[in-house]
Amino acid sequence: MNKKLSMIMQIICGLTALVVLGAIYIWAPVCDQFLQLANGNMTHMRCFYTAHAATYLAILLLVSSVVSLATKNKTAIISLIIGIMLITITNDTIGIGVCKKSTMSCIQTAVWLKGCGIVTIIAGAGQLFIKE
């Protein structure tokens, strides 16, 4: 029973990674606007970089889940760290952050990232406490 529960937790982490990717690129994409600098140049807004960082974290989580399912090794610590990072990259003071305007579409992306981070932390913590 514990092995099945551990496997379910890894599947949840893999599905969460797919939800992060779907949120970023399908149903809650980040802003596509540019920010004009003082010297007149244009640059991407912070949400663009947050989306790229979350994409890399989601790919890492997905690969970790697949490898864990294939080798029957627990990757709870990796899941916990990625979950924490998904939450913190949306924070302006700790991570990269998103736009401050509540009308921007990246606010919804941040909500999805935080929710997926919480689910990933719960699944990772569940793996830590499962005795095999």
**CA distances to 26, 34, 98 from 91, in Å:** 22, 20, 7
DSSP state of 39: T
Kindly report, residue by residue over 44-68, the tens digit of the pLDDT: 888 999 999 999 999 999 999 999 9
Q: What is the pLDDT of residue 109?
A: 92
Whether the pLDDT of residue 1 is over 70: the answer is no
Whether the pLDDT of residue 37 is over 70: the answer is yes
Whether the pLDDT of residue 88 is over 70: the answer is yes
- The proportion of the chain whose per-residue pLDDT surpasses 70, expressed as a percent, equals 98
DSSP state of 29: P
63 Cβ neighbours under 8 A, 6+ residues apart:
none
DSSP state of 59: H
Q: What is the pLDDT of residue 25?
A: 94
pLDDT category at 75 given cuts 50, 70, 90 is: confident
Domain boundaries, the chain: 2-129
- Give the chain's radius of gyration (CA, Å): 16
**Gap between the Cα atoms of 112 and 87, Å rounded:** 10
